[in-house]
Amino acid sequence: MAPQDDALELDVLVIGAGPAGGTLAAALATAGLSVAVVDSQPLPPMELPAFDGRAYAIAASSRNLLEAAGIWGLLPDDSCAITGIRVTDGRPGERPSRLHLHFDAAEMGEEAFGWMVEARSLRVALNARMAALPGLRVLAPMTVELERRADGVAGRLSDGRMVRARLAVSAEGRRSTLRGEAGIGAARLDYRQVGIVCAIAHERPHGGTALEAFLPNGPFAQLPLSDAFPDGEGERARAAREGFPHASAIVWSERTDLAPHFMAMDGTAFAREVTRRMGDHLGALRLVGGRWSYPLSALQAMRFTDTRLALVGDAAHGIHPIAGQGLNVGFRDVAALAELVIQAKAAGGDVGATPVLAAYQAARRPDSLLMLGATHALERLFGNDIAPLRIARRLGIAAVDRIPPLKGFFARRAMGFGGGVASGLLQGRGIMPVG
């Protein structure tokens, strides 16, 4: 592409304005870098419809990143702290095994293991932060054709404008166009399961405790949501008036051939199936918001970088939701890349140079492979009803509950700490301006 004098000159061009791409752009712009985010879809409006049932589990380390990037403080709705995690093993319709595992944040000297944030709330905060940063341009809906060379990136936007950058970042999701154009292969694994996501209102308080129930057809998670909600006369407000004042998110993994049956149920029958898997500790319940489903698979890019290109989030990897860590692993990518790019800029270096990208891959690919292996092993171990394995895993769950150092290790990993993840942004260090 022929250069133009009026081209938009940037340090970093991010493709994809989702949670990973938007947070990366905000972190870099907070440090004073010039950044643009391009997304083929218009950003969801600031005033979203009533509660739709979707929420994110934000690990403690990810909250530190969102605070550093100026996003956390802009959340319009209350987040809900996850102060307890209960792990059980059982079958639908039966009481879970008495051999269980319980994590308590207070016992471990922690404020919380993580926070539940409604998807619409995070979107509103991202939109507001990106709009407030003078060094950040949001170009959406827009597409761009890129040419990556050893000396930089040049692109033509769909409105005809030219853009030049030192680094391009793909945050496009699992179907990343830039990953394909770079010839980066990806290993994939189909779990033959469907993830069903929804929210419920229930009679009894959850006490900030999340439940992870391992069932033969896949894991089932209940995740606590805030009791406060700005719905006006929405479904949650009506449910609260009618005796269901508390709420939780549900992430239910089910066999692909059975999932359509559950998705087609009316609300009453669906709530009954939720109770069969979760138990009745939250009392009577009802479905609020929508129901969403998606196929479950794993993905791992063969490498995370190419000439003037870095992959982050789902463009680089995807894991089973059994541990609720998918988005958080993406935020670890964001933290690592942001720190390396900011350091290069502060030192007067080239933010898209080969050493920066090599350091990013060295920092992130091993951790993502470890998470892929761990979640895959958990799914294989717990996603069956073979008697010897069932007995062994129940004994293993009980053993972990009785060994404080091992229990603490798993808790720290759930919070996004340890395991060689040493990013200062994840540890709570702020962003230093480069100027």
* pLDDT tens digits, 104-116: 888 888 899 899 9
CB 352 within 8 A of CB 10: no
Residue with the bigger pLDDT between 380 and 165: it is 165
> Residue 153 carries which side chain, given as an amino acid letter?
V
Among the listed ranges 60-69, 88-97, 214-223, 326-335, which one has the minimum average pLDDT value? Answer: 88-97
Does this model's pTM top 0.75? My answer is yes
pLDDT of 240 > 50? The answer is yes
Distance CA 34, CA 25 (A): 9
Compute the mean pLDDT over every residue in the chain, rounded to the nearest whole number: 86
pLDDT (0 to 100) of residue 40: 92
Closest CA to 432 of 67, 130, 35, 30: 30
Give the pLDDT band (50/70/90) at residue 139: very high
pLDDT (0 to 100) of residue 46: 47
Give the pLDDT band (50/70/90) at residue 47: very low
The sheet with strand 246-255 has its strands ordered as: 101-104, 84-89, 209-215, 218-225, 246-255, 186-202, 285-301, 317-318
CB 425 within 8 A of CB 339: yes
Question: In this predicted model, what pLDDT tens digit does every residue of 385-413 receive, in sequence order?
Answer: 555 555 555 556 555 555 565 555 555 66
Residue by residue, DSSP assigns 351-420 as TTSHHHHHHHHHHHHHHHHHHHHHHHHHHHHHS---HHHHHHHHHHHHHHHT-HHHHHHHHHHHTT-BTT
Distance CA 11, CA 36 (A): 9
At residue 27, what are phi and psi to the nearest 5 degrees?
-65, -45
> Residue 222 carries which side chain, given as an amino acid letter?
Q
Distance CA 13, CA 168 (A): 5
Give the pLDDT band (50/70/90) at residue 164: very high
pLDDT (0 to 100) of residue 390: 58
pLDDT (0 to 100) of residue 415: 67
At residue 231, what are phi and psi to the nearest 5 degrees?
-85, -15
The CATH H-level (homologous superfamily) assignment of domain 8-427 is: FAD/NAD(P)-binding domain (3.50.50.60)
